[in-house]
Amino acid sequence: MIDASPGWELYRSFLAVVREGSLSGGARLLGLTQPTVGRHIDALEQSLGTALFTRSQGGLAPTELALALVPHAEAMSMAAEALQRAASGEAEEDRGTVRITASEMIGTEVLPPIIARFSEEHPRIAVEMVLSNRSDDLIRRDADIAIRMIRPTQTSLVAKKCGTIGLGLHAHKNLIQRHGMPQSVAELTQFPIIGFDRESSIRRLKDLGGFPLSRELFAFRCDSDVGQFAALRAGVGFGMCQYQLALRYPDLVPVLPGAVEFELDVWIAMHEDLKTSRRMRLMFDHLAEEMTAYAREADARASGR
């Protein structure tokens, strides 16, 4: 008798361990116990006749063979999910769960009212939100739909550009009353500036109008965009802010408009396998329409106040 090939359950645990880097992490991701996931890995290795992981200080490192198996296991995952949707009848129903990933600022300041309007129209669709700047959430299947400020490059994604958001330097009016208004980019070094703590975060920004970006320059350092925005509204220092968000807070004043600013493209994307799901299409279209409208509003500059 020919031995049966390893089942999807084993490959499912294999994928989880690859993604999380440990048995415990894979178990948490799947909602299983660590011993169960360990048995699945042992069974898969025994069936294939080779080791798939090596132990390292950081956890379990996949072997070259394991990495070669990942895209095939991911294809199995997509097929299993499609099979489940077809079997449950969810593909053509406006119910179920949609998991969205977005940056901190978009997720906390922009999406809540957009999601509220969607929920009024589709109360049977639950929404989960993941605040993350990672670009691989959709490929890793950590989310169904992503809103990102960079163009998705993976061929397996359906993506749409919603527009462009402008960011400029702003400050609370009380801070300007205390410190005055800088008259040039060079003068900014004499004022309290809000910025990032880690160099990797600082590199997310470009050279803004000749303004030198360095950790030592910042009087307030925080790697959270939400934390920086809260500090900006509290008058801690001068900081970057989306123009449209600044228009919602009358106490925020544009500083050196046109001199210190940059733009971000807004993209919405989902895995191509999800486009047959009605609830995914409903959410994708709703987010695309709403984010397009938001991007148009964000074209307003300080002169539009």
pLDDT 10s per residue in the chain (305 long)?
A: 345 577 888 999 999 999 888 999 898 888 889 999 999 999 999 999 999 998 877 688 899 999 999 988 888 887 777 676 566 555 556 788 999 999 999 999 999 999 999 999 999 999 999 887 766 556 566 788 999 988 887 777 889 999 999 889 999 999 999 999 999 888 888 999 998 887 554 455 555 555 566 777 888 999 889 999 999 999 999 999 999 899 889 999 999 988 878 888 999 999 887 888 889 999 999 999 999 999 887 554 434 44
Q: Helix %, strand %, coil % for the chain, to 5?
A: 45, 20, 30
* Cα 173 from Cα 243, distance rounded (Å): 16
pLDDT of residue 261: 81
Residue 173 is encoded by which pair of tokens?
């009016």
- Report pLDDT for 90: 54
Q: Tell me how far apart the alpha carbons of residues 145 and 271 are, in angstroms, rounded to a whole number.
A: 8
List the one residue out of 5, 4, 36, 3 whose CA is nearest residue 13: 36
Q: What is the CA radius of gyration of the chain?
A: 24
Q: Measured between alpha carbons, how far is 242 from 193 in angstroms, rounded to an integer?
A: 16
One-letter amino acid at 20 equals E
- Is the dihedral angle over the CA atoms 273, 11, 84, 96 positive or is it negative? negative
- In whole angstroms, give the CA distance from residue 268 to residue 159: 6
Distance CA 167, CA 33 (A): 46
Domain range annotation of the chain: 8-88, 95-161+265-303, 165-264
pLDDT at 4: 58
Residue linked to tokens 């948490």: 28
- Name beta bridge partners: 195: 221
Q: In sequence order, what are the residues at sequence separation of 6 or more whose Cβ sits closer than 8 angstroms to the Cβ of residue 257?
A: 168, 301, 302, 303
Burial of residue 266, with CB atoms counted within 10 A of its CB: 0-12 exposed, 13-18 middle, 19 or more buried: buried
pLDDT of the residue at 271? 83
The secondary structure of residue 266, as a DSSP letter, is E
The second-level CATH assignment, the architecture, of 165-264 is: 3-Layer(aba) Sandwich (3.40)
Give the pLDDT of residue 76.
Answer: 85
In this structure, the number of other CB atoms found within 10 A of the CB of residue 246 comes to 26
pLDDT for res 140: 62
pLDDT at position 1 is 36
Name residues whose C-beta falls within 8 Å of residue 174's C-beta, 6 or more positions apart in sequence.
235, 251
Give the Cα-Cα-Cα angle 221, 299, 166 (nearest 5 degrees). Answer: 25
Q: Tell me, what amino acid is at 7? A: G
Quickly name the fold that domain 95-161+265-303 has. Answer: D-Maltodextrin-Binding Protein; domain 2 (3.40.190)
Strands 125-131, 59-62: pairing kind: unpaired
pTM of the model: 0.67
Same fold, 95-161+265-303 and 165-264: yes
Q: Under CATH, what is the fold of the domain 8-88?
A: Arc Repressor Mutant, subunit A (1.10.10)
Q: Are 43 and 36 in contact (CB under 8 A)?
A: no
User: What is the residue type of 143?
Assistant: A
What is residue 302's predicted lDDT score, i.e. its pLDDT? 37
Residue at token pair 């009087």: 219
| pLDDT score recorded for residue 304 | 44
Intra-chain end-to-end CA distance of the chain, in Å: 78
